[in-house]
Structure 1
Amino acid sequence: MTRWRDREFRPNPAPAVGTASRTLLRLRVAGHDIVLRRTRIAPGGTSGWHYHDGTLFVVVTRGVLDHPYLERGPAEYPRFHVFREPSGPANAHVARNGGPTETRILVLYLNPANSPLSHSVPPPTDG
């Protein structure tokens, strides 16, 4: 069953700062929750360090996304870049905006049923 969700952007919970999202679509298929969300990241905004239980597919639709990983180091994605976020604690990362204008992303979550969208982890001591 398809359920249309929030029509308005809502601030993301801590540890996120300067970010807001809205859920465009949520449905369950074969034991997986499929969620489509649009997220805005204000200049200086951050998601906080986290990981996901499932795989995500991300499209940067505006600005530049700074997206380093704990284990793999820095990554920066410009507008129209599409990338995959693998699951699990070994793939902990942060999404942040170091630029002067808003960054926007469109995210497709493929999570195990009833999983949270993310799990917070402590930031690395050097970043």
Structure 2
Amino acid sequence: MRGATRGIRRTALAGIAAAGLALVPAVADATPGSGVTGKIISQTTVGDTDYILREVTIQPGGKTGWHFHDGTLYAFVAQGTLTHPDASCEPTVYKTGAAFVEPSGADHTHIGLNLGKKPVVLEVLYVLPHGAPLSEDAPNPGCDF
């Protein structure tokens, strides 16, 4: 059953992508993440675009650090509750079963937080320019997270 559920999630992510979270310090003022791990599930390049399906886990109390992406991300919350503030300091909360899109560019800086008691597990499809990093670190825009 677990394999079937994972297949459904992957299919859902592919559908979201058709319809429409690596934290490597790169900026001196970057806000480091903690309690975050990622595992690449699959990866392919078509033309000048990389498609990377990755499982990201954020432990309780963990955070991604402030960052942005050079391409669009499509995410599915497989477990837990993700608190996801953007540069306006207003958090959006995504619970298990939620799907969301992260737009590309430095004007879409955000952070992922796990304020809960169990790990947050995300299935994320990265649609990036070929060779781009999974994320670009950014300074805290002045939020209290």
Q: Hey, what does 1:3 align to over in structure 2?
A: none
Amino acid across the alignment from 1:122: P
Whose relative contact order is higher, 1 or 2, with alpha carbons under 8 Å and at least 6 apart?
A: 2
1:47 to 64, 67, 70: 64
**How far off its partner does 1:13 sit?**
4.5
Q: Hey, what does 1:7 align to over in structure 2?
A: none
Amino acid across the alignment from 2:91: P
* Structure 1 residues 85-124: Cα deviation after superposition (integer angstroms, max 9, x where no partner): 0000111000110001111100000000010111101113
Q: Hey, what does 2:13 align to over in structure 1?
A: none
Q: Hey, what does 1:80 align to over in structure 2?
A: 97
**Residue 47 of structure 2 corresponds to residue 34 of structure 1:** no
% of aligned pairs identical? Answer: 36
**Is the deviation greater in 72-81 or in 50-59?**
72-81
Question: Which structure 1 segments of 5+ residues have no match?
Answer: 1-10
Whether contact under 8 Å (1:21, 1:37) holds in the other structure is yes
Distance across 1 between alignment mates of 2:50 and 2:143 = 34
Q: Paired residues, what number?
A: 117
Q: Hey, what does 2:80 align to over in structure 1?
A: 63
Q: Hey, what does 1:4 align to over in structure 2?
A: none
* Structure 1 residues 5-60: Cα deviation after superposition (integer angstroms, max 9, x where no partner): xxxxxx95552200111001111002100000001110000000000000000000
* Cα separation, partners in 2 of 1:13 and 1:114, compared to 1, 3 Å: closer
Map 1:1-127 → 2, pairs under 5 A: 13=24, 15-71=32-88, 73-127=90-144
TM-score (norm: length of structure 2): 0.76
Distance across 2 between alignment mates of 1:16 and 1:36 = 20
Whether contact under 8 Å (1:68, 1:94) holds in the other structure is yes
* Cα separation, partners in 2 of 1:89 and 1:22, compared to 1, 3 Å: same
State the superposition RMSD in angstroms: 1.5
Question: Which structure 2 segments of 5+ residues have no match?
Answer: 1-21, 26-31
Distance across 2 between alignment mates of 1:28 and 1:118 = 17
SS of structure 1 residue aligned to 2:85 = coil
